[in-house]
């Protein structure tokens, strides 16, 4: 039955065209944005996971920055400790030279005094971002990782480094409560009996026994400095490994999120071409359906 009030064919063609236009709009959005899941309505589960992981990735980026800052602090301390080892080795060589009979110990002490002042200068200068890891008696820490556990709880992990200002500790000098360097503590400042500390030692009037004690003191100091430098080197290595891990983890998260929400451009391109063709055909079908009503006029021509 042909009706001029109800055109079923046109209604059907229009419904098809609307469906095609909707799919075409979705595909065009995917092509233009690059996302298969751009909003929660596209896929609530994937969108939620991707949003959480992007947030975690931003936190990892902050951790990476903090690791870089921590690495700079540790590297500064290591450089200072390495310089101190060289200086104390020079002091050791001067003391060995003082064992020779007839040598002018006063002149040797002048040289040792300059080296002792250089040790203090190294300790004072080894500060990065307001923190000094070779002078003091507190606990230092650097950010090492950002962790999300199985329950969804997040936390920031740190690596602790305790500054020990004893003679066998890991700092050149200790620090007073007012924040100034205490030259009577630490590996360099702690006194070793009658010969004093490496920093305060004066060999001018030393006999052979005192010279031997001074050598023992300096050797013990070198051993402690080497141990401290080794500890700093270990922390530096750990930070480097953690930086590499954080970088790789961040890339993995980006890749995983991409698998969830990124559009497959080859697939979307094929869909776009097919839908554009379907749209043209649907428009043509609607035009044909609408033109059928015009055929009714021929029934009333004489």
Domain boundaries, the chain: 8-30+263-293, 66-246
- 148 pLDDT more than 80: no
Output Rg (C-alpha) for the chain, integer angstroms. Answer: 39
What's residue 35's pLDDT?
83
What's residue 281's pLDDT?
84
Using pLDDT thresholds of 50, 70 and 90, give the confidence band for residue 7.
Answer: confident
Residue 164's nearest CA partner among 217, 121, 225 is 225
What's residue 302's pLDDT?
56
Structure tokens belonging to residue 38: 């751009």
Write the pLDDT tens digit of every residue in 281-296.
888 887 877 777 677 7
Residues 187 and 172 sit within 8 Å (Cβ to Cβ):
yes
- Mean pLDDT (the chain) is 88
What's residue 177's pLDDT?
87
- 4 pLDDT more than 70: no
What would the DSSP string read from start to end of 122-185?
A: HHHH-EETTEESSB-SSEEEEEEEEEE-TTS-EEEEEEEEE---STTSS-SBEE-TTSSEETTS
Greater confidence (8 vs 78) lies with: 78
Q: What is the mean pLDDT of residues 194-213?
A: 94
Greater confidence (281 vs 233) lies with: 233
Residue 170's nearest CA partner among 98, 218, 232 is 232
Q: What is the pTM of this model?
A: 0.76
Using pLDDT thresholds of 50, 70 and 90, give the confidence band for residue 169.
Answer: very high
Name the H helices within 34-173: 44-97, 105-125
Residues 6+ apart with CB under 8 A from 249: 60
- 204 pLDDT more than 90: yes
Q: Does domain 66-246 have CATH number 1.20.1330.10?
A: yes
Q: Backbone phi, then psi, for 176, in 5-degree steps? A: -80, 170
What's residue 53's pLDDT?
87
Give the CA angle between residues 232, 233, 239 to the nearest 5°.
90
Residues 83 and 223 sit within 8 Å (Cβ to Cβ):
no
Q: What is the mean pLDDT of residues 258-267?
A: 82
- 262 pLDDT more than 60: yes
Write the pLDDT tens digit of every residue in 96-121.
999 988 899 999 999 999 999 999 99
Using pLDDT thresholds of 50, 70 and 90, give the confidence band for residue 154.
Answer: confident
Residues 169 and 163 sit within 8 Å (Cβ to Cβ):
yes
Q: What is the mean pLDDT of residues 188-212?
A: 93
Residue 70's nearest CA partner among 230, 227, 241, 251 is 241
Greater confidence (292 vs 197) lies with: 197
Q: Backbone phi, then psi, for 196, in 5-degree steps? A: 75, -160
């Amino acid at each position: 039955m042909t009706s001029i009030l109800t055109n079923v064919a046109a209604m059907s063609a229009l419904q098809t065209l609307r469906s095609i236009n909707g799919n075409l709009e979705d595909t065009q959005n995917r092509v233009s944005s690059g996302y298969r899941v751009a909003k929660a309505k596209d896929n609530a589960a994937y969108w939620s996971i991707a949003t959480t992981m992007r947030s975690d990735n931003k936190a990892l980026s902050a951790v990476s920055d903090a690791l870089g800052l921590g690495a700079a602090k540790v590297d500064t301390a290591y450089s200072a400790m390495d310089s101190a080892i060289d200086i104390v080795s020079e002091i050791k060589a001067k003391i060995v030279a003082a064992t020779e009979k007839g040598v002018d110990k006063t002149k040797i002490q002048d040289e040792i005094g300059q080296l002792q002042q250089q040790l203090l200068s190294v300790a004072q200068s080894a500060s990065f971002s307001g923190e000094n890891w070779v002078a003091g008696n507190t606990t230092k820490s650097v950010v090492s990782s950002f962790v999300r556990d199985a329950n969804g709880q997040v936390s920031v992990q740190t690596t602790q480094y305790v500054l020990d200002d004893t003679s066998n500790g890991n700092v050149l000098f200790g620090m007073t409560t007012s924040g100034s360097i205490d030259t009577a503590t630490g590996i360099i400042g702690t006194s070793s009996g009658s010969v004093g500390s490496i920093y305060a030692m004066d060999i001018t009037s030393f006999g052979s026994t005192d010279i031997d004690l001074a050598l023992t003191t300096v050797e013990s100091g070198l051993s402690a400095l080497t141990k401290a430098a080794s500890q700093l080197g270990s922390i530096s290595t750990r930070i480097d490994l953690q930086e590499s891990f954080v970088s790789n983890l961040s890339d993995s998260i980006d890749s995983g999120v991409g698998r969830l929400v990124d559009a497959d451009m080859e697939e979307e391109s094929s869909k776009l071409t097919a839908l554009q063709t379907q749209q043209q055909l649907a428009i043509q079908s609607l035009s044909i359906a609408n033109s059928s009503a015009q055929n009714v006029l021929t029934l009333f021509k004489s």
